[in-house]
Amino acid sequence: MIQTLPKAAAILLASASLALAQPAPVINVNTAKPVAEIQPTMWGVFFEDINFGADGGIYAELVKNRSFEFFKPLMGWKQEGKKRTEGDLLVQNRKDEGSNNPRYLHITANNLATGDMGLTNEGFKGMGLKNGLRYDFSVMYRLLSGSITLRAELLNETNEVVGSGVLTPATKDGQWHKQQVSFTASQTVQKGKLRLWVEGNGTVDLDMVSLFPEDTWKGRPGGMRADMIQMLADMKPGFVRFPGGCIVEGHDLSQRYQWKKTIGPVEDRQLIINRWNFEFAHRPAPDYFQTFGLGFLEYFQVCEDIGAEPLPILNCGMACQFNTAELVPLDQLDPYVQDALDLIEFANGNVSTAWGKKRADLGHPKPFNLKFLGVGNENWGPQYIERLAVFQKAIKAKYPDMKLVCSSGTDPNGDRFDYLNGKLRAMNADLIDEHYYRRPEWFLENVTRYDNYPRTGSKVFAGEWAAQSDRVVSVNNKNNWLCALSEAAFMTGLERNAAVVNMASYAPLFAHAEGWQWTPDLIWVDNLRVYGTPNYYVQKLFSLYKGTHVLDLKQQGAIVAGTDSLYASAVLDQKTNEVIVKLVNVSNKPVDRTIQLDGAKKLKPTATLSLLTTDKLDAVNTFENATAVSPVERQIPVDARKKAITLTLVPHSLSVIRVPVN
C-alpha cells in the first residue's frame, strides 16, 4: 500500500552514495542475457474526441458550428447590429441537393454599413488569440445579387476589436466559392470572439465560416493545434490508437464512427452529434458535435509525422452496449467488413487501387504502412465474437499480416472478460484489448497480472487504463501523484512482461479544462495553454526509455513487485547501448539499493538518473504550475569496478537510470 506522506523536510533527494551505513540490499540485473524483445509499439497513446479533444481541442478551427449543422442551427452564433430586420438573416437548407452539409445562411443586405447587421461566434469555450499571430478567416459564399462586403473582426473579452479584415465576395455566378482573408491579432486573448459585419446591398449565402490560427502543426492550413501534437511527439509514442473509444460504437449505429465520411473536402464531411454531448447527465455538453475536420487522413498524417504506428479501431456492427446495444444482423454485416478492407487499401494500397488512388488524390500518394487494425471497442458477448469472426476471416484472407486488435470488453476480470478472453485466445486473436479504470490500489495489486499469462498465442494490448483517485466516471478524479505513482509501479509489470504485452496506452488522452466529460486525463488544455499531468510524465519516461529487450531483474531471486514497497524492471536498449532500470518507491521512506549489473563489461563512471517525485501524493500539475511534478535529470556515480550503482530511492518516486554499456 502507498503510505501517507512524511513531512516535506523529511524527504530526501535521490542520491547516489557509495558509502551507506548498512550494505544496501542488492538488485541483480542480468545485462548479458535479454529475456524478451520489446515491441516498438510498447507505449502509445489513445486518442478519442472526448472532453473536446478534437473539435474545440486539437483541431484548430476556432469557429463553433461553422456550417450551421448543429441541432440548433445558430448555436454558438449571436445576431448583432442596429439595422437588423426580421428575415434578413435566415438559415436555409439544401437537403434536396443531397448535400452532406445542407444548411447555410441566407443574408439580405439593404444598404448596410459596419455595425448595422452581423453575427458573432463565441468559439468553443471562447477563442484563444495570440498577439502578433496571423489568423485566416474564410467562408464559402454564393453571391446571388448586388455587392456585399464581409468585415471580420477579432474581439477581446471586452468586445474591443483586436484584429480585422475585409472580404468582398469576388464571383457572382450563383455558385459556391471559397474565399479567405488573413489578419493579425494585436492582443493575446484567452476568450476571444469573431464578429462578422455584413455591408452593402444584395443577397448572399454563407457556409463554412471558419477561422484558423497560422501556427498549426507543421503550418498546415486548416490543421491541428501544434502545442497539443508537440506534447505527443515529445513522448515518442509507439502508436496512436484512434478514433476511440466509445465514439467508435456510437450511442446507436447511426452515430457510429464511419471513416469514409471523414475524408475529402471538410465541407463535405457530414457532421454528427458527439456521443459525449449527452452521455453524462452530470456533464452535459449540448454544443459537442463531430465536424471530422480531424478525419482519418489527418490521423494517419499525424502518426506519420510523429513516427507512431497508426492503430485505427472500427465499428464491428454493434452500437454501444451501455446505450442502445443496436446490432447489425450477421447477414447485413458486409458493408462494415468492406469498410475495414477498404481502410486497409486506403492506408496501404498503391495508387493503382481504388482506395490507394483516393489517398493519392487527397495528397498522400505514399502508403501509410498500416499494420494494426482494431475491430470493436468495448464490445462483448457472443454477438461480438460472431461478428469479429466474420471480420477476422475476411481481413486475414486478404491481408494475412494485418494484426487485429480484439475487444475483451469493459473490465479486466469477471465473467464477461473470462468468456471473451477464452474465445479470443481460441480464435488466435492477434491482440486482446484490455481496459482497466481502477483505484490506485488495484494497480499495485495487479503489478504481477501478466507474469503468468501464456507466452504463446494472443498478445495483450492494454488499450485503456488510468488510476482513478475516486472511482470511474467520478467528477472528483484527479491526475494526482498518487495515481501516477501507482501507474508507474504497474508499468514495471507491463515492461517485465513485454513478451506478452505488446502495446499499452493511458486513457483518455486530452481534456479541455472547461469542456471535459471524463477525468482523469493525460493532458489538459485551455484555449491557449497545455500541460502534462504527473501521469503524462510517467508515460513519457517509460516511452522515451522503453528499450529494445527486457532484462531479468531480481532481488534474492525474486521479481521486485512490492518488496519493501519497491517495484522495478530493467531493459536493454540496443540502439543506444544503455541498460535502463526503472524503480518505483511507493512508500514514504527512503529505500537503499545496490543495482548490480551482472554480465556488464566496461562501464563508464556515471549514469543518468531521471527522477520524478514530489512530497505530496495529492500533488497535481496546473496551467500555472505546469511542471510542478516533472522529471529532473542528473548524473549519478557508477562503481565501474563492481559494476554497481548504489543509491537511495526517495519516498514516492519513480527513478529511471540509464547506464551506458558496451
- Active site positions, annotated: 378
Torsions phi, psi for 16 (to 5 deg): -85, 135
Does 440 contact ligand AHR by CB under 6 A? no
DSSP string for 301-326: HHHHHHT-EEEEEE--SB--TTTT--
Binds ligand AHR by CB under 6 A, chosen from 205, 207, 326, 464: 464
Binds ligand AHR by CB under 6 A, chosen from 48, 61, 116, 487: 48
Q: Closer to ligand AHR at the Cβ: 266 or 318?
A: 318
Q: What grid cell was written down for 141?
A: 459564399
**In whole angstroms, how close is the CB of 484 to ligand AHR at the nearest point?**
17
Tell me whether residue 325 is exposed, middle or buried, using C-beta atoms within 10 angstroms of its C-beta: 0 to 12, 13 to 18, 19 or more. middle
Does 244 contact ligand AHR by CB under 6 A? yes
**In whole angstroms, how close is the CB of 246 to ligand AHR at the nearest point?**
4
Amino acid residing at 465: W
Amino acid residing at 623: F
**In whole angstroms, how close is the CB of 48 to ligand AHR at the nearest point?**
5
Binds ligand AHR by CB under 6 A, chosen from 450, 518, 531, 567: 518
Total number of residues that touch ligand AHR (CB under 6 A): 11
Residue showing the smallest CB distance to ligand AHR in the complex? 245
> In this chain, which stretch among 243-251, 259-267, 547-555, 584-592 interacts with ligand AHR, using CB under 6 A?
243-251
Closest by Cα among 353, 458, 340 to 406: 458
d(CA 127, CA 139): 18
Does 54 contact ligand AHR by CB under 6 A? no
CA pseudo-torsion sign 634, 640, 646, 652: positive
Tell me whether residue 111 is exposed, middle or buried, using C-beta atoms within 10 angstroms of its C-beta: 0 to 12, 13 to 18, 19 or more. exposed
d(CA 117, CA 203): 13
3-state SS, residue 372 = strand
3-state SS, residue 420 = helix
Binds ligand AHR by CB under 6 A, chosen from 228, 263, 507, 645: 507
Tally Cβ neighbours within 10 Å of residue 22: 6
Strand 591-598 with 26-30, pairing: parallel
**In whole angstroms, how close is the CB of 225 to ligand AHR at the nearest point?**
20
Does 377 contact ligand AHR by CB under 6 A? yes
Radius of gyration of the chain (CA): 27
Does 107 contact ligand AHR by CB under 6 A? no
Q: Is residue 379 a contact partner of residue 389, using CB atoms and an 8 Å limit? A: no
- On the CB side of 570, how many CA atoms lie within 13 Å of its CA? 27
**In whole angstroms, how close is the CB of 21 to ligand AHR at the nearest point?**
48
Q: Closer to ligand AHR at the Cβ: 47 or 70?
A: 47
Q: Closer to ligand AHR at the Cβ: 48 or 207?
A: 48
Binds ligand AHR by CB under 6 A, chosen from 116, 122, 378, 434: 378
**In whole angstroms, how close is the CB of 247 to ligand AHR at the nearest point?**
6
Q: Closer to ligand AHR at the Cβ: 57 or 245?
A: 245
> In this chain, which stretch among 143-151, 239-247, 392-400, 421-429 interacts with ligand AHR, using CB under 6 A?
239-247
Query: Rounded to 5 degrees, what angle do the CA atoms 354, 357, 360 make?
Result: 160
**In whole angstroms, how close is the CB of 466 to ligand AHR at the nearest point?**
8
Does 495 contact ligand AHR by CB under 6 A? no
Does 34 contact ligand AHR by CB under 6 A? no
3-state SS, residue 133 = coil
Strand 189-213 with 161-167, pairing: unpaired
Q: Is residue 108 a contact partner of residue 203, using CB atoms and an 8 Å limit? A: yes
**In whole angstroms, how close is the CB of 51 to ligand AHR at the nearest point?**
9
How long a stretch of residues is the chain? 662
Q: Closer to ligand AHR at the Cβ: 143 or 248?
A: 248
Q: Annotate each residue in 190-229 with x if it binds ligand AHR (CB under 6 A) or - if it does not, as one string.
A: ----------------------------------------
Does 524 contact ligand AHR by CB under 6 A? no
Q: Closer to ligand AHR at the Cβ: 276 or 537?
A: 276
CA distances from 521 to 46, 248, 437, 491, 545 (A): 11, 19, 12, 17, 22
CA distances from 51 to 158, 240, 259, 567 (A): 27, 18, 21, 33
Does 314 contact ligand AHR by CB under 6 A? no
Binds ligand AHR by CB under 6 A, chosen from 246, 253, 333, 511: 246
Q: Closer to ligand AHR at the Cβ: 305 or 411?
A: 411
Does 477 contact ligand AHR by CB under 6 A? no
Binds ligand AHR by CB under 6 A, chosen from 245, 312, 534, 547: 245
d(CA 314, CA 390): 14
Query: Which DSSP symbol is given to 511?
Result: E
Does 515 contact ligand AHR by CB under 6 A? no
**In whole angstroms, how close is the CB of 518 to ligand AHR at the nearest point?**
5
**In whole angstroms, how close is the CB of 271 to ligand AHR at the nearest point?**
20
d(CA 43, CA 491): 10
Q: Closer to ligand AHR at the Cβ: 176 or 278?
A: 278
Tell me whether residue 102 is exposed, middle or buried, using C-beta atoms within 10 angstroms of its C-beta: 0 to 12, 13 to 18, 19 or more. middle
Residue ranges binding ligand AHR (CB under 6 A): 48, 50, 244-246, 377-378, 464, 507-508, 518
